Amino acid sequence: MKRERKKRPELTRKVPIVRREKVRVEALEPATWRLVISAENDGAMNMAIDEALAESVKAGESLPTLRFYGWSPPCLSIGRAQSADVVSFPDTQKLGWDVVRRASGGRAVLHIDELTYSIAALDDEPRVKGGVLESYRRLSAGLLRGLKEIGVLPERAQAYYDDQGEVGPACFDGPSDYEITIGQRKLIGSAQMRSGNLVLQHGSIPLAGDITRIVDCLDLTLGERMALRNRLRWRAVSLEYATGKVWNSADLTENLINGFSQALKLTFETVPLSERELARASEIRAEKFGNEAWTMRR
């Protein structure tokens, strides 16, 4: 009697997902945005300033805003919905690093030796219109152009079905859809929040240093730390490592401003934080981002 052969299960394939932009970058009409270049602040104040700026945009008191800033002291930021259990608080205290919970989503980022950008706009602004991935792709055109201005050859990471197992706690452990890579290694990590008609996006650009330092402040076993270090070495990169050149934040900021201007047809008006915005940021810092109840959510 002939035995019936069992069908072999089909193997999971990594098939590229093709998405089309509903608003093409090439079709954008020229627009004017506000530009804010800030001094370094601690993590809670940086997040509070972004929220104060977002409130100004929502109230119609400010144009859509692109902000650049740094962090002092270094800070581990965790995503809005991420559990505080991923943080090793004894290690962050020993290292002298802050911890803050962002208003935007995503996974943990160590803000050290880096440049951060934020964008606040209403969701009817054509550059952020549509879904999260659609707006990521459109805004990434400005980042790509800015990096090309300094001689880098960046690429957009392509979207794939996820068949790589559980997602780890660190943002730079592999690129998400349409984030910026160099040689298939993640250079810029971005996260977004959409609340009502408001869009707030954060992006982190490591300038230099050991990309695996974030492992030192995550609550992981020794084996998990070793595994994550190895993944980060292969999946992420700093701008200095990618180019062999030391970059300061002021020079990179200027090039990224030019990139956003050219790729997204933007004119920028440099408008510093108003006294009202600074006062509001201080309130938000005390009530939210500097409040342990917000940071420690699980």
Instruction: Say how many C-beta atoms besides its own lie within 10 A of residue 226's C-beta.
Output: 12
Residues forming a β-bridge with 190: 203
DSSP class per residue in 39-62: PPB-HHHHHHHHHHHHHHHHTTSS
Annotated catalytic, 217?
no
- How many residues comprise the chain? 298
Helix axes 43-58, 275-284, angle to 10 degrees: 120
**Cβ atoms 76, 92 nearer than 8 A:** yes
Exactly one of 78, 108, 112, 171 is catalytic; name it. Answer: 171
163 Cα distance to chain centroid: 23
**Cβ atoms 127, 264 nearer than 8 A:** yes
Nearest Cα neighbor of 63 from 270, 210, 256 is 270
Rg (CA), the chain: 20
**Cβ atoms 192, 117 nearer than 8 A:** no
- Give me the phi and psi of 71, to 5 degrees please: -130, 135
Peptide bond into 73 cis (omega under 30): yes
Nearest Cα neighbor of 241 from 214, 212, 267, 211 is 211
Active site residues: 171
